[in-house]
A and B are shown apart, each in its own frame.
Chain A
C-alpha cells in the first residue's frame, strides 16, 4: 500500500498546484516543448484505447482519462 499513499500524496500536490493556475503557464513563444508529439496528454490514442479495453475487460474500473469505455460483453 506504500505506493498508493505516495500516489495520494502526488495527487494532493497536483491539486495544490492547480489552485494557482492563473499565475502559471508560458508565453505563446515558449511552447516549443509542449508542442512535441510525445508531450501530448494522449500521445498514442490507439495504444491507450487498446489498454483501456483490456483493463475494462479484466478489472472493475474504467474511465478516468476520458469516457468509461466499454461496449463489449467482455469475458
Chain B
C-alpha cells in the first residue's frame, strides 16, 4: 500500500515538473473532476433611504476547472449608481448654496437639511482573471489581475497567493500579495487640500489628475479542527499612499460662538457659495492592520459561519466586525440563511464636524461621515433552492443601518441642537443563479 502511494506521489511530482517545464504529458487515466464551466451570476439592488445612493449591479463569475485541480476564474461586474451623498457640510436653519464639483453651476440645500450633492451619477465596469493550480503535491498558487473603470476613476491591480498544506492537509498556510494602482480624474479636477470653495467659473482651487498605490500582504492559516469544523486565522497589512483625499467632500467654516456657517460676500453679478466652505484634506499615506478569524461548523445539516475582524490604522480608526450566518436546510433542496452583522468604528484623528473661523487651519480635516464614530447593523435573510436540473437559485433581502454620533466636544453653539450626523438606512436585495455544472 505504501509502495503504491509513493509511486503515485512520484507520478504527481513528475507531472507537475513536466507541466512547469512545458513538456507534453500523457493524459491521466482517471479524471478527478469533469472539466467544464461553472457560472455564478447575481443581480443586486442597493438603495439608501432619504433619496440617497442607489446601485444596480450585475455580476458574473465564470470558472473553468481543468484536470489536476487547475482552474481559471473570470469575473465581470457592471454597476450603475445614482443619487445623492452627504458632502460634509453642516445643516443650517436657512438655505445654503454651494458650487458644484464641476465648477459650472451651483445647487441649493433646503434649511435644516444635511447638505447632499444630488448630481452624483456613475457607471462602473470591473473585470478580473485568476489562475489557480497545484505546484507539486503540497503547494498551490493563485495569481490574477483586476481592473475597474469609472468616469472619474481607474483601478488596475495584480495579486498572488502561495499556499502550502501540512499535517495530512489539515493545516494550510498561505501568503498573499496584492498591488493596486488607482488613477483619479475628478469632475472639475482634484481640489487643492483645504482650498476654499470658489465662485462658478473660478477653478483656481483645483489641480489635474491624482493617483494612489495600495500594497496588501495577507498571512493566513486554515485548520481543520474536526470532521465538522474548520477555522481560518489571518493577518493583513495594507499600505496606501498618494492622493487619499475624497475630492468631493468639504467642510463648513463656522462661527466660533454660534457654530453657524460663516456667510460669504458675493461680488455683484457673481454666482457662488452662500457660506464659507473648504475642501477636505487627508494624510497622503495610510497603514492598516487587520486580524481576522472565521469558523465553519456543521451541525447535522445546518452550517454556522461566524467571523470576527479587528482593524486598526494610523489614522486613529479602530473597528470591530462580527458576521454570523446560519444555513438551515428545509427539505431536500431548499434552505434558509439568516444573516447578522455588527460593525463599530471609532473616528479618525482628523475627523471634524466643521472648521472654526479665526482658528489656524489644521493639516488634515475631513467631515466624511465614513470616517466618523458609528455603529452599523445588518439583518438579512436568504432563501436558496436547487432546481431539478441541478442549477441553483437564491434570493436575499437585507437591511443595513448606520447610527453615528457627532463628537460632543466638537459641537459649538447652535450645532448642539441640530442633527449633525447623517445616519444611513439601506436595503440590499439580491437574486443569484448558478448554472453550468
A, B bound: yes
Q: Name the B residues within 8 Å of A24 (CB-CB).
A: 167, 170, 223-226
Task: Please name the residue on chain A nearest to B85 by beta carbon.
Answer: A75
Once the chains bind, are B345 and A60 in contact (CB under 8 Å)? Answer: yes
Residue picked from A11, A40, A64, most chain B C-beta under 10 Å: A64
B153 touches A34 (CB 8 A): no
Q: In the complex, what residue of chain A is closest to B48 when comparing beta carbons? A: A58
User: Roughly how many angstroms separate A67 CA and B145 CA in the complex, as a whole number?
Assistant: 13
Please give the residue numbers on chain B whose beta carbons come within 8 Å of chain A beta carbons, in ascending order: 40-42, 44, 46, 53, 57, 59, 61, 75, 77, 81, 85, 120, 122, 124, 126, 146-148, 150, 152-153, 155, 157, 159, 167-171, 176, 178, 180, 182, 184, 186, 214, 216, 218, 221-228, 230-234, 236, 238, 248, 288, 290-296, 298, 303, 305-311, 313, 315, 317, 319-322, 327, 342-345, 348, 370-371, 376, 396, 400, 402, 424, 426, 428, 430, 432
Mark interface residues in A22-66 (1 if CB within 8 Å of B CB, else 0): 101111101111101011110111110110011100111111111
B61 & A45 in contact (Cβ 8 Å cutoff): yes
B345:A66 contact, CB within 8 angstroms: no
Q: In the assembled complex, which residues on chain A have CB atoms less than 8 Å from the CB atom of B292?
A: 64-65
Point out the residues of chain A lying under 8 angstroms from B342, CB to CB: 3-4
- Provide the bound-state CA to CA distance between A22 and B223, in Å: 9
- Across the interface, which residues of A come within 8 angstroms of B59, CB to CB? 46, 49-50
Judge whether A65 and B400 touch: CB under 8 Å. no
Residues in A neighbouring B248, C-beta threshold 8 A: 75
Given contacts A15-B233, A24-B226, contact A61 B319 (CB under 8 A): yes
Return A41 CB to nearest CB of chain B, in Å. 5
Among B122, B148, B308, which residue has the most Cβ atoms of chain A within 10 A? B308
Residues of B within 8 A of A15 (CB): 233, 293
Residues of A within 8 A of B371 (CB): 60
**B124 near A60 (CB under 8 angstroms)?**
no
Closest CB pairs A-B (n = 10): A25-B170, A71-B155, A73-B153, A64-B292, A64-B309, A67-B178, A75-B85, A61-B319, A64-B290, A61-B311
CA distance A61 to B292 in the complex (A): 12
A49 to B127, CA, bound (A): 12
**How far does the alpha carbon of A10 sit from the alpha carbon of B233 in the complex, in Å?**
12
- Closest chain A CB from B322 CB (angstroms): 5
A28–B167 Cα distance when bound, in Å, is 11
- Report whether B230 and A68 are in contact in the complex, using a CB–CB cutoff of 8 Å: no
Across the interface, do B303 and A38 meet the contact criterion of CB distance under 8 Å? Answer: yes
* B293/A14 in contact, CB under 8 A: yes
For B295, the chain A residues whose CB sits under 8 A away are 14
B214 touches A70 (CB 8 A): yes
Give A58's nearest chain B residue, CB to CB: B370
Q: Which residues of the other chain, A, contact B120 by a CB distance below 8 angstroms?
A: 75
Q: Which residue of A lies closest to B292 (CB)?
A: A64
Say whether A68 contacts B223, CB under 8 Å: no
- Knowing A65-B292, A75-B81 are in contact, say whether A54-B428 is a contact too (CB < 8 A): yes
Residues of A within 8 A of B46 (CB): 54
User: A59 and B320: CB pair below 8 A?
Assistant: no
Determine if B424 and A58 form an interchain contact, defined as CB atoms under 8 angstroms apart: yes
The residue among B41, B305, B313 with the most chain A CB atoms within 10 A of its own CB is B305
Q: How far is the CA of A10 from the CA of B309 in the complex (A)?
A: 11
When distances are taken between beta carbons in the complex, the residues of chain B under 8 Å from A60 are 313, 315, 317, 319, 345, 348, 370-371
Asked if A21 contacts B167 (CB within 8 A), the reply is: yes
Q: Is the CB of B290 within 8 A of A63?
A: yes
B298 / chain A contacts, CB cutoff of 8 Å = 33, 36, 39
The interface residues of chain B lying within 8 Å CB-to-CB of A39 are 230, 296, 298, 303
Q: Which residues of B contact A40 (CB under 8 A)?
A: 296
